Amino acid sequence: MGVSPSGLVTASRAGSAVITATSENARATVTITVPAPAAPPPVANNPAPESQPPVVTPPPTQPPANNPPAEAARVVARRGVTAGGQHTCALTTTGAVACWGSNEFGQMSDPGAGAASNVPIVINGVSGATMLTAGNNHTCALADGSAICWGANLKGQLGNGRTAGPPTPGPVAGGHSFQSIVAGARHTCGLATDGVAWCWGDNDNGQLGNGTNRGANTPQRVSGTTKFKMLAAGSDHSCGLGTDGRVYCWGDGFSGQLGRGSREATNEPNPVDGDVKFSSLTAGGKHACAIAVNGKAYCWGANVAGEIGDGSKSERDAPVPVAGARSFTALTAGFEHTCGLTADGEVYCWGRNREGQIGDGTRVDKPAPVKVAYGPSLQSVGAGGNHTCGVTSSGVVCWGGNIKGQLGDASVTARLTPVSVEPGH
């Protein structure tokens, strides 16, 4: 039996098969039996119709058949990397996009590529990309200021006016010109060239910031008159760096991730507590972090694994400085861990480390920054659900959880220190 991209099950001969259907939050299994006809007619040696191709799921240690090795090898040199829940994507020097890891919800954009790929797949339909962002199960790119998204869309996080349809890359509705884009668990936000923030997708906790708690499958303008120069999206909250140097957050506040000194949710932007002026920010599962103008890192929110980095595991509902005297040029937050990049290319991480996502060779949680065990300098770094990746001068390295092949090293083995992403064999 074969399953077309539209979901049609086609039987080529008699027999039984178990069909498992998966949505973003549910799974169901049914057994289908096709009896043999009494007098079957002769069958010619005709290939399957092009409209009904057989679904081929490659072994997890092999690249999908529809991406030839020569094409996959082009992703060796990369310009940026983003890590999602259990998948990773990178920009190539030519503006193409390559992804690897989980494909359960179309994160590879091609459901026929199988449930996962542990080596890079070049994404068809995306070219000229200048920026990438990965949510839990979806990915978005910017190309010439236009946003393109693919993957899971149950909450409208692709912004294409639908909550169903194929997971292949498609434009975000509205025709907005964005300078940057960020993805949360099931919502997405884009920063327009005029400094106005727009968000779409899940809004159960007010993370779209438009004064309501109704989800939206097209971009919604974030309330207020504040102009932003940077955005960040967490699981159920969002933050923006204002042109005034203050950080504003909105959405779920149960763990203090809004930084307002309380744990109440809000569906409109509110400034975090304190008088510190910031230059950069990031948001993780239920926490957020920002870099002050002097290079010092501050974090706030959930701290169950030490992701705040202040040496404790106590929640913080207002910004507190990360332990240590070092300065950072960039921060990235995963679900329960955080990493910072220094001016000399060193990476320090803190928080959850059960899968080795801290990169220090252990599985012990770290409530304060520790250096990633990697010699060469890194140009950028991205933290995902339980893995982390960084860009080097020659490619990408990843470390941490790897159950879906999200490290891209042609295995599904967790790595406690950085390993190189395979070029695609």
**In terms of DSSP bridges, do strands 380-383 and 27-34 run parallel, antiparallel, or are they unpaired?**
unpaired
Instruction: Work out the mean pLDDT of the chain and round it to a whole number.
Output: 85
Q: What distance in Å separates the CA atoms of residue 409 and residue 119, rounded to the nearest whole number?
A: 6
Give the pLDDT of residue 111: 58
Interacting residues of 369 by C-beta distance below 8 A, sequence separation 6+? 309, 322, 323, 324, 326, 340, 348, 349, 350
Least confident of 75-84, 119-128, 199-208: 75-84
Instruction: Tell me the C-alpha distance between 155 and 24, whole Å.
Output: 10
* 267, amino acid identity: N
What integer is the mean pLDDT of 21-34?
A: 44
What's the pLDDT score for residue 40? Answer: 32
- Residue 33 DSSP class: E
The Cα–Cα gap between 42 and 388 comes to 55
Cα angle: 192, vertex 154, 410; to 5 degrees: 90
Alpha carbon separation from 408 to 86, 290, 317, 346, 425 (Å, rounded): 11, 29, 36, 22, 11
What pLDDT score does 336 carry?
A: 98
End-to-end Cα spacing for the chain: 30
Domain ranges of the chain: 1-37, 57-420
Q: Which amino acid is at 202?
A: D
**pLDDT exceeds cutoff 70 at 344:** yes
pLDDT at 38: 38
Sign of CA dihedral 95, 200, 168, 383: positive
Token output for 403? 């159950």
Model confidence at 423, pLDDT cuts 50, 70, 90, reads confident
Whether pLDDT at 145 is above 90: yes
Q: How far apart are CA 413 and CA 20, in angstroms?
A: 25
pLDDT in tens, 300-316: 999 999 999 999 999 99
Q: What residues contact 74, with CB distance under 8 A and at least 6 apart?
A: 92, 94, 96, 122
pLDDT tens across 366-402, in order? 999 999 999 999 999 999 999 999 999 889 999 999 9
Beta strands, E only, 144-296: 146-151, 170-171, 178-183, 187-192, 197-201, 216-221, 228-233, 237-242, 247-251, 266-271, 278-283, 287-292
Q: What is the pLDDT of residues 80-139, one digit of tens each?
A: 999 999 999 999 888 899 999 999 999 988 656 578 999 999 999 999 999 999 999 999
Please report, rounded to a whole number, the percentage of residues in the chain having pLDDT higher than 70: 80
Please tell me the pTM assigned to this model. 0.83
**CATH number of 57-420, picked from 2.130.10.30, 1.10.10.60, 3.90.1640.30, 2.40.50.320:** 2.130.10.30
